[in-house]
Chain A
Amino acid sequence: MNLPLSALLTTPIELTGIPRFVLMLPLCLSIAVVYKATRLSSLRDLWKASLVLWVTIVLGMCAVGVGLWAAFSIMV
């Protein structure tokens, strides 16, 4: 398959199953980096602070997901 470069932006990617959850990780990382870039007074610790925030967001979302799944399983 030899597609032109413009095809990268016009042809959608087929996403099913696990990849759509994996794509949550870079999105959370960009949120963490931009948030920390605006909040930190010095950018020396940007990557460390972003990594900590990223792990916190991902673990928090996983915890909420597991909690909701458990509540759903108990009630239904």
Chain B
Amino acid sequence: MMNFIRGLFPEWAVEWPKNLNLPLNKWTNDFVEWLVTEYGVIFETASDAILVVLVGMERFLRDLPWVVVFLGVGALTFFSSGRKWGLTALVAACMFFIGLTDPRLWDLSMMTLSVMLVSTLICIGVGVPVGIAISRNDRMRDMVLPALDLMQTMPSFVYLIPAIMLFGLGAVPAVFATVIYAIPPVIRLTDLGIRLVDEDIVEASDAMGASKRQKLIRVQIPMALPNIMQGVNQTTMMALAMVVIASMIGTRGLGTEVLIGLQQLNVGRALEAGVAIVLLAIVMDRVTQAYGGRFIRMDGRG
């Protein structure tokens, strides 16, 4: 039966022709190679800069007595949430349990946290301006949004390979891959937040003779902040997920523990690290949300 059907067609219509092959694979490789040879200097400079910040952050967090970090995070939560005791207790408990699970995990958490913080800061530094730009320009928006869709749907592993090729192994390519993977929410929600600012209010600012810049800084960004913070929250969550995955290319941190656990079939070790990751995620989520909630309350709408 099948042979009969196959017999009805010429050979090229039966099996996919070998030479009908879009060499996307080769192109990409060539492109990355070309980038590295032509612009290697730029990548090295960027890499060095990121590394300096990263190492500084990591050393700082690891050298600080754990009690100080613990109390600092607690205080940050307490004040940015508008003095909510319950939330602060939850966050503090999570922090405490990270160390309690296994003392080694505290240091590893600080490493993961520093990669994540640096990535998130870069995401904000790049994402907010891009979001502002596309909120003002529909054509740019039509170009950027599909790119963001692509970045988010692509399996996150895919970013690791060009990251390695551009930056080698270690923490810097991890930051690079994390930024690409985690930046879309900040851009999207900045754009959305600015577009959602009440037209009347923008008009009021215009009517007073505010320049574009004054309007942006004094009205649009502050009013978009709850949304922007929502984006930052999502970005931190995605960054955390990516940092864990990025341990495959040599970032040290909680992800490494999971990886080692898997390789040694040491389920307990992997689980402990997994628990620490979850706890860290809860902490980051609550802290950024509490911080975002501030802006909603401030104008009395929350």
A and B from one assembly? no
Interface positions of B (Cβ within 8 A of A):
none
Interface positions of A (Cβ within 8 A of B):
none
